[in-house]
Chain A
Amino acid sequence: MRIEAATGIKPDYRSRSATFWLCTGYLALVTSAAILAMFIAPFGYNDQDLLQRLKPPSFLGGPSAHLLGTDQLGRDVFSRLLFSIQTSLAIAFVGTIIGAAVGTSLGFVAAHFGGIMDRAIIMLIDMQAALPFIILALAALAIFGNSFIVFMVIVGIHSWETYARLIRAAVLSANSSDYVTAMRIMGASPWRIYIRHVLPNVAGILIVQITLSFPAVILLESGLSFVGLGVQPPSTSLGLMIGSGRDLLTQAPWLALAPGLTIFLTCLSVSMLGDKLGDKLNVTLN
C-alpha cells in the first residue's frame, strides 16, 4: 500500500490551494478536538443514560442535548467521538514516531556497518515483506496477549521496514557523494556526518514517508480495534466505535457513520497533504 501511493499519480485538482486549506483546516479541527476533548465533550464518554438509548442525532430530530445521538447504552456519541479521536490520533502519532525512529536507525546501521549487519537487516526486511503486517500483528497479539504496551509496540513497528529500506538506500548514496567525502577528509566522525549532514538531506524523504504511514497506522489501529483485538473497552477508539456500531446498523446507522467518516476524512487529508508536500520537496520514493 505504500509504493503505489508514493509513485502513483498526484491528484490533479484545478485549485490546489483550496484543497490544501480544506485538508489543513480539517486536520487542525480534528487535532484540537483530540487535545481539548475533555473540555469540549458535553458528557463523559462512559456516562450512561438508559432512558436516552439509541436517540438519533439532533439534526435528524433527536434530542438537542445529543448532537450526534446516543448509543445502545445511552452514551453521547459526540462525546465518545471526541475521546475516540483522542485515543486513535495519539496511538497513530506515537506509533508513527516509533516506526520512523526504529526504521531510520536500522537503515543507518545497515548502511554504516554493511557486511553481516546489513545482510541481517535486509533479511528481516524481506521477511517482513513476506507477511502481511496485520497477520504479524495478530500473531504477536496471540502470543503475548493483548495489553496496551504490546498493542503500542505492534502499531509502532508497522512500516519500520519501509523507513529502513529508504534510509539505507539514501545513506548509501549519500556516502558515495562528494560532500560526504569532503566531510570525511576534513576529519568529521561518521556520526557527525550522519546527524548533521546526511539526516537533514534525507529529511524530505522521511517526512513524505511519515505522511504515508500515518494514515496506514490509523487504519491498522482502527482495523484491529474493529475486530475487537485492539483498544479494549471501557477505553474507546474510532475502530472500536465502528465495531460496536456494526451490529446496530439498521436501528442506529449514525453509530458507525460518525467515526467512519472521521477516519476517512483524516486519512484523506493527511495523504493529500503528503502528496503536495512530496511535490514541493520534489521527493520520489523508491
Chain B
Amino acid sequence: MNLRYVLSRLLGGLLTLLLIVTLTFFALRLSGDPIQVLLPDTTPQEVVELYRERWGLDQPLAVQYVKYVVGIFHGDFGLAFSDGRSALQVVLERVPATAMLALAAIAIGVICGIGGGIVAALNRNSAIDRAVIAFAVFGYAVPNFFFGILLILLFTVKLGWLPSSGSGTIWHLIMPALTLGLWASTPLARITRASVLETLGQPYMVTVRAKGLPYYYGVFRHALPNAAIPIITILGLNFGTLIGGAVITETVFAWPGIGRLTVSAVANRELAIVQVIVLFVATIMVSINLVVDLLYTWIDPRISVVSGRQK
C-alpha cells in the first residue's frame, strides 16, 4: 500500500475535523453570549465580569479560538449545564448502548442487504428478485420511525412478544435493531444487486465458464470481489445514515444511547454536549471514510496508483 496515499488521506481527514471544530466555534460565538444563556438576568455586573474573565471571554476572538482548539485536544469540551459534569463524560456514558444497537443493526443490514442483493442478482427476474426489488423500493419510502411504530403495533400490541421501549435485555434490542438494520439494508440491497449483475455480465465471467470452472466458483472468486467497491462505498456512507437513523430510532424505542441524548440535549440547548456529539460523530465518519478509502486500495490496487499520479 502506498504510504503517501495513506498520509494524504489522513491529512485530509484531520483537515475536515479541524474545519468542523472551527465552524462549531464560530457558530457557538455567533449564537450569542454564553454568559447570558448561563447566568440569570439579575446577576450583578461584577459577577458577570468575573465569569467572563474566568472563561476567557474577555480576550480577543483569535485567542479564544486557539484556546478552544487546544482545549479540545486535551479533552476539555466544557461542562453540561444541568449537572455540571464534563460533557465528554456524559456522552461517553451513552456510547455502549449506541454501539450495541449499531453493531446489531449493521449485522442485520449486511445480512439482509448484501445477502439479499446477491441472491436477487443470481436469480434475476425470479420471485426472490422481485421481492428484493419491492423491499428496496418500499424501504426507501418508509420513515424509519413509522416502521418502528409498525413493529411495536405487531410485536407489542398485537402479539405481546416484545417490550415496546427501554433497554436491559436482549429482547429490548430486537425491535430497535430491526428498525435500524432493515432501514439501512435497503440501499445496500439495491446497490449490491446492481453491482453483482454488472460483474456477472462481464467477459471474464464467460471465460471462467469457458474454462469449465463451476458456476459458483466464478461467482465467489471473480464476480463478488469485483462487485465489492460500490458495495463498500455504500456501506461506508451507510454508517452516517445509521447514526442519523439512530437519533430517531432511539427516540421511538426509548433506547438510552447517543441518539436520544442528542435529542434531549438539543431540546434543552445543552451546547457543550451537542458539540461533543458533533465532533464524536464527525470523527467516526472521517475514520470510516479513511478505512473505506484504504479498503479500496486493498481490494483494487489500481486506485491508489491512479490517485497517486494525480497528486
Question: A residues engaging B (CB < 8 A)?
Answer: 1, 3-5, 7-9, 11-12, 123, 126-127, 130-136, 138-145, 215, 219, 222-223, 226-229, 239, 242-243, 245-246, 249-250, 253, 256-257, 260, 263-265, 267-268, 271-272
B265 within 8 A of A: yes
| Complex interface: chain B residues within 8 A of A126 (CB) | 12, 16
Select B278's contact among A4, A135, A145, A239, beta carbons within 8 Å: A135
**B28-81 interface with A by 8 A CB criterion:** 28, 30-31
A138 lies within 8 A of B274 (CB): yes
B256 within 8 A of A: no
| Complex interface: chain B residues within 8 A of A12 (CB) | 125, 130, 133
Residue from B146, B281, B286 having most chain A Cβ neighbours under 10 A: B146
B306 within 8 A of A: no
A270 to B271, CA, bound (A): 37
B270 lies within 8 A of A246 (CB): no
B98 within 8 A of A: no
**Given the contacts A131-B285, A132-B243, A229 and B234 also touching, CB distance less than 8 Å:** no
The proximity string for B residues 1-25 relative to A, scoring 1 for CB distances below 8 Å and 0 otherwise, is: 0000000000010011001100110
B residues contacting the other copy or chain, number (CB 8 A) = 67
B217 within 8 A of A: no
B237 lies within 8 A of A131 (CB): no
A-B contact pairs, 23 of them (CB 8 A): A3-B237, A4-B191, A5-B190, A11-B133, A11-B134, A123-B16, A132-B243, A133-B244, A138-B266, A138-B274, A143-B27, A223-B143, A229-B267, A242-B146, A243-B145, A249-B149, A249-B153, A249-B164, A253-B153, A256-B146, A260-B143, A260-B149, A263-B143
A133 to B285, CA, bound (A): 12
**Given the contacts A215-B140, A253-B157, A135 and B262 also touching, CB distance less than 8 Å:** yes
A131 lies within 8 A of B133 (CB): no
Given contacts A264-B141, A267-B142, 14 further A-B contacts (CB under 8 A): A3-B234, A4-B234, A127-B20, A130-B20, A133-B244, A134-B244, A139-B27, A143-B27, A222-B145, A229-B266, A249-B164, A264-B143, A267-B140, A268-B138
| Complex interface: chain A residues within 8 A of B145 (CB) | 222-223, 226, 239, 242-243, 246
Question: B residues engaging A (CB < 8 A)?
Answer: 12, 15-16, 19-20, 23-24, 27-28, 30-31, 125, 130, 133-134, 136-138, 140-146, 149-150, 152-153, 156-157, 164, 187-188, 190-191, 193-194, 230, 233-234, 237, 240-241, 243-244, 247-248, 251-252, 262-263, 265-267, 269-271, 274-275, 277-278, 281-282, 285-286, 289
A135 lies within 8 A of B187 (CB): no
B274 lies within 8 A of A139 (CB): yes
A76 to B285, CA, bound (A): 44
Residue from A143, A144, A239 having most chain B Cβ neighbours under 10 A: A143
**Given the contacts A228-B263, A260-B146, A135 and B193 also touching, CB distance less than 8 Å:** no
Q: Closest Cβ of chain B: how far from A176's Cβ, in Å?
A: 18
A142 lies within 8 A of B247 (CB): no
Select A130's contact among B16, B30, B150, B252, beta carbons within 8 Å: B16
| Complex interface: chain B residues within 8 A of A271 (CB) | 137, 140-141
Q: Closest Cβ of chain B: how far from A94's Cβ, in Å?
A: 20
Select B31's contact among A144, A226, A257, beta carbons within 8 Å: A144
Q: Which residue of B lies closest to A226 (CB)?
A: B145
Select B266's contact among A142, A226, A268, beta carbons within 8 Å: A142
| Complex interface: chain A residues within 8 A of B142 (CB) | 264, 267
Select B190's contact among A4, A145, A222, A250, beta carbons within 8 Å: A4
Select B146's contact among A130, A131, A142, A264, beta carbons within 8 Å: A264
| Complex interface: chain A residues within 8 A of B193 (CB) | 8-9
| Complex interface: chain A residues within 8 A of B31 (CB) | 143-145
| Complex interface: chain B residues within 8 A of A243 (CB) | 145
**Given the contacts A4-B191, A8-B194, A242-B146, A228 and B20 also touching, CB distance less than 8 Å:** no
Q: Which residue of A lies closest to B273 (CB)?
A: A142
A256 to B281, CA, bound (A): 30
| Complex interface: chain B residues within 8 A of A246 (CB) | 145, 149, 252
Q: Closest Cβ of chain B: how far from A135's Cβ, in Å?
A: 5
| Nearest 6 CB-CB pairings of A with B | A8-B190, A4-B187, A132-B244, A268-B141, A267-B141, A260-B146
| Complex interface: chain A residues within 8 A of B191 (CB) | 3-4, 7-8
